[in-house]
Structure 1
Amino acid sequence: MQPSANQHLFTQLQRIAEGLGKTFAPFCEVVVHDLTHPKNAILAIENNLSGRNIGLPATELGLARIQDPDYPAVIANYANQFADGRKVKSTSIGIKNEAGDYVAALCLNVDLTLFGGIQAAMAQFTAIESSAVTETLDAANADRIRQTIDDFAAARATTSRALKPADRKQLVQDIKRAGYLEIRRGAEIAAAHLGVSRATVYNDAK
């Protein structure tokens, strides 16, 4: 492959890196390596999380690809770290020319410390302290009302919201006889589970 063809390839890789960088910012660094110039391999860096500069030499992985055309083209999600010790998840994609030689690499480095901070914040936010106090925000018999409705619908091979009007009327009257419409929010709970208005429930109960 002639240098001009290499340049076209590198230009396209830089566009891909730019798109990936914008998509996964600010968590992922995307780097384009020119393996035809291993001493000055880094050609482009999007979301520079590692603090490296354009023109720095190829990494050990890049050198391995240069020396061995049979080296794996894709190495995904391997453990890595930045110079300051931050943990990284990396993926490296080798790019070959028409002759089958590696000439470039596209690498993605995800800073796991950023996600670690988010994970810690979420764990704190969702933590529940142990307590002897118990409380429910639902009516005491809400589950019984819903279960009664579901059992009635299942016996007719349907769902609560697909009951025929005549069947729904019979169900509501059964619920009324059981005293469920007399409890606080009973009609509201039944209506919500049936997918109808409270007025419909009251009419069916007549």
Structure 2
Amino acid sequence: MHDPSQDAILAALVPVLDGLAATFGPSCEVVLHDYRLGEQSVVAVAGQVTGRRVGGALSEIGLSMLRKGAEAVNDLNYVTRTPDGRVIKSSTMPLRDGRGELFGALCVNIDVTALRQAGDILSALAGAGPVEPAATTFTNDFDDVVDAVVRGQELALGKPFPALTRAERLDVIGSLEERGVFKVRNAVPRVAERLGMSRSGLYADLAVARKGPREES
């Protein structure tokens, strides 16, 4: 059952989304998340930058915020790149109720691709190379977020998940844990399916991964 005070905070913020998006113009998108809903946390959107819609999924950034829980703080003015190459400047601000419990987040995304390109030209003229932002998966499907995280790990290791040693597999699962993937309700069966594992096998490996440093076996 939802806390009425949390519902009231979310309801009060909905008109704020439209105001912020209108203030910053068509390059701005504001997204409201209700973490109590699990993976499909998006409850309101104003503007269109990343294609988010109501009922959409958490991004890796949202997962990180959820994982931090009580320790989550404002994450302001970070820069990421979408899969289609656009550069996005974002801020994610956790929402807490009167007891300090984290239950959602307000996210502002601004497409700064054109500004970034202009800056790269100026940097090139000055003899300095551009700084590449990290890629982030903005999607309305939580499975896509999981897939992006797993693909990143597979790319870093240079081989697909089925070909990993047990120690490498535990490292991948540990990385998913560190990114907050397993904080999402019903994440285990989704991840198990993506990794080609049984749920019981994933639970067992997750328990081992949570214990800390791992050795090759």
Scaled by the length of structure 1, the TM-score of the pair is 0.52
Q: Is the 8 A contact 2:34 2:104 kept in 1?
A: yes
3-state SS of 1:69 partner = helix
Q: Which residue is 1:98 aligned to?
A: 98
RMSD: 2.6
Instruction: State the Cα deviation string for residues 144-176 of structure 1 (Å, max 9, x = none).
Output: xxxxxxxxxxxxxxxxxxxxxxxxxxxxxxxxx
Matched residue, 1:109 = 109
Is residue 35 of structure 1 aligned with residue 35 of structure 2?
yes
State the match for 1:9 in structure 2.
9
Matches within 5 A, 1:36-51: 36-51=36-51
Identity %: 28
**Which structure is higher in RCO with an 8 Å CA cutoff and minimum separation 6?**
2
State the distance in 2 between where 1:72 and 1:95 align.
10
Provide closer, same or farther for how the CA distance between residues 118 and 47 of structure 1 changes in structure 2, counting only shifts above 3 A: farther
Q: For 2:8, what is the secondary structure of its paired residue?
A: helix
Paired position in structure 2 for 1:78: 78
Is the contact between residue 17 and residue 30 of structure 2 (CA under 8 Å) also seen in structure 1?
yes
**Which protein has the larger Cα radius of gyration, Structure 1 or Structure 2?**
1
Question: Contact conserved, 2:31 with 2:106, CA < 8 A, in 1?
Answer: yes
- In the TM superposition, residue 119 of structure 1 has moved relative to its aligned partner by 7.0
TM-score normalised by structure 2 residue count: 0.50
Compute the displacement of 1:95 (Å). Answer: 0.9
Q: How many residues align?
A: 122
User: In the alignment, is the contact (CA less than 8 A) between 1:66 and 1:101 conserved in 2?
Assistant: no
The 2-side partners of 1:17 and 1:71 are apart by 25
Give the aligned partner of residue 55 of structure 1. Answer: 55
Alpha-carbon distance in structure 2 between the residues aligned to 1:89 and 1:98: 30
Q: Hey, what's the Cα distance between the residues in 1 that align with 2:54 and 2:2?
A: 23
The residue aligned with 2:26 is 26
Does structure 2 conserve the Cα–Cα contact (< 8 Å) formed by 1:41 and 1:56? Answer: yes
Supply the distance in 2 between the matched residues of 1:66 and 1:99 (Cα, whole angstroms): 17
Contact between 1:73 and 1:95, CA under 8 Å: does it hold in 2? no
Alpha-carbon distance between aligned partners in 1 of 2:94 and 2:34, rounded to the nearest angstrom: 10
> Do 1:96 and 1:102's aligned partners in 2 also have CA atoms closer than 8 Å?
yes
| CA distance 1:118–1:12, shift in 2 (3 Å) | farther
Q: Determine if contact 1:81/1:87 at 8 Å carries over to the other structure.
A: yes
